[in-house]
A = this chain, B = another copy of it.
Amino acid sequence: MSHPALDALTARFGARIETGQAIRDQHGAGDSWHAAAPPEAVLFAETTGDVSEALAICHAHRFPVIAFGHGSSIEGQTQAVQGGLSLDLTRMTRVLRVSAPDMDATVEAGCTRQELNEYLRDTGLFLPIDVGAHATMGGLASTRASGTMTVRHGTMRDRVLGLTVVMADGEVIHTGGRARKSSSGYDLTGLFVGAEGTLGIITEVTLRLAGIPEAAKAGLYSFAEIAEATETVVEALQCGLCLNRIELLDALQMQAINAYNGTDHPETATLMIDMAGSPEQVAADLETFGALAEGHGAALAPCESPEAYNALWTLRHSALYSARALRPGAKSLSTDVCVPVSALPAVIAQIQAEIAAAGVVAPLHGHVGDGNFHLVMLFDGPEEQEVVRGLHSRLIAMALEAGGTATGEHGVGLGKKLYMQAEHGQALGIMRKIKAALDPGGILNPGKIFDL
């Protein structure tokens, strides 16, 4: 028998409420090791008004609602663990406005960063959130995503100026605005960014864009030991270079990348860096960085052409998929932590020693300019899964011990819930109070971030 909420949704939205198994299955799984949990139905929303009406119905019936974009989240954020409605926003892809002089734009939540950047092509502007996934703006905002350019351009927290949000009961609010800064009341924009759809559903996003730099040059630096690479990072950050990206890949990750892409880079700890600015500044800062890296024994391979530059960053973005390809058929627990940069060498050394002792295949890559790194831990079967989960918990304990966080950019979802108490202590109770105040029926993405 159908849930009365579904009847009401179908009465309102007709064929846009889909209940076919295939579409439900697709909406019940992210890009992760977490068990799939299909919703009872999927609604393809086309406007903020659709979202508002759907939420009003679900609120009245205490029916869960999970916002869905391209399903690229990797901590189980989109799984419908308590059933309910998956609210698909991928039909809301419009770029609503762009201001070149103010370097900002407003887009609908289903617009991807690739679509926005394509739209902006002739303006000299772009959104400097460079994640590997083909992700929507709503998803990027909701997980407080960041990617490779954070060291220069910040995270979604820094790029989102304002939002349109539909609250649990269907009320539509607008947060922030287009001013570059504001001291006007509570920072609701910042509260919804990173809330993973548990406090409201984002339908429109106003973004600060960046200017495409006059010049950009990249290089690949191979180190004998990973500690030499991380120490180079710490030194480079203190020099105030015009770094646009500074990415670490360990020997196993380089081996995976070579195998996956047919390349032949040295299979040793590697930094891929990108400088952006004026041609003179880029040249000078690349030289400074090269000297630092050489001081740590690195072999240098600067990219001499725009083609080589693009090829390098395409390689970098293959890190996750190449890692998974190391053990075809195995599952992968892809995790990320973020620590103060000075703690990187010790934390990486310690977790890699424990990984080696456990005999787990787990390549490492990360946005080390932020102190953020990922491990893709491969496992096959329940016994290996237990080992991998144990290492995962150890990694997070080390990160917290170092003053860091259980997740730098993937979010909490289902995968990091266990660690929220350890990270936040009493502050977790404050998060719960805010959740109860804004979603008293607990219908918005229930079971994510923390349990009530």
A-to-B contact residues, CB < 8 Å:
99-104, 143-146, 150, 154-155, 157-158, 167, 171-175, 177-188, 190-191, 193-195, 199, 211, 213-214, 234, 237-238, 240, 277-278, 280-281, 284, 338-342, 370-372, 399, 403-412, 416, 420, 423-431, 433-434, 436-438, 449-450
CA distance A237 to B214 in the complex (A): 14
Further 15 A-B residue pairs, CB within 8 A, beyond A99-B342, A213-B240: A101-B238, A101-B341, A102-B340, A145-B183, A155-B181, A157-B190, A158-B158, A174-B425, A179-B403, A180-B340, A181-B405, A185-B423, A188-B430, A280-B284, A437-B437
Set of chain B residues within 8 Å of A182, measured between Cβ atoms: 144, 338, 405, 407-408
Stoichiometry (number of copies): 2
Cβ A183 vs Cβ B411 within 8 A: yes
List residues of chain B with CB within 8 A of the CB of A338. 179-182
* Distance, CA A234 to CA B157, complexed state (A): 24
Assembly CA distance A342 to B183 (angstroms): 20
**Interface residue from B190, B211, B341, B407 paired with A180 (Cβ < 8 Å):** B341
Q: Give the residue name and chain of the B residue nearest to A424 (CB).
A: B185
Whether B145 and A101, one on each chain, are in contact in the complex, defined by CB atoms closer than 8 angstroms, is no
Q: Report how far A288 CA is from B181 CA in the complex, Å.
A: 26
- Is B186's CB under 8 angstroms from A195's CB? yes
Pick the residue among B102, B237, B405 that contacts A177 (CB under 8 A): B405
Question: Main SS of chain A's interface residues?
Answer: loop
Which of B173, B412, B426 interacts with A173 by CB under 8 Å?
A: B426
Q: List 7 A-B contacts (CB under 8 A).
A: A173-B426, A177-B423, A179-B405, A183-B407, A186-B191, A214-B240, A281-B281
Q: In the complex, what residues of B have CB within 8 A of residue A195's CB?
A: 186
- Which residues of B have CB within 8 Å of A370? 179-181
Q: A338-B179, A433-B437, A434-B437 are in contact. Are A405 and B184 (CB under 8 A)?
A: yes
Is A101 a contact partner of B234 (Cβ separation < 8 A)? yes
- Cα(A411)–Cα(B184), bound, Å: 6
CB distance from A41 to the nearest CB of B (A): 28
Q: Check A144 against B183 for contact (C-beta < 8 Å).
A: yes
Chain B neighbourhood of A433, CB < 8 A: 437-438
Nearest CB of B to A448, in Å:
10
Residues in B with CB closer than 8 Å to A177 are 403-405, 423
Q: Quick check: A186 and B434 within 8 Å, CB to CB?
A: yes
Complex contact A340–B144 (CB within 8 A): no
CB distance from A296 to the nearest CB of B (A): 15
Residue of B at shortest CB range from A405? B182
A291 to chain B, nearest CB (A): 15
Residue ID in chain B nearest A337 by CB atoms:
B179
Our pick among B181, B187, B280, B408 for the contact of A191 (Cβ within 8 Å) is B187
A391, B30: Cα distance in complex, Å: 54
A185 touches B412 (CB 8 A): yes
Whose C-beta in chain B lies nearest to the C-beta of A435?
Answer: B186
Bound together, the chains give a CA A199 to CA B434 distance in angstroms of 12
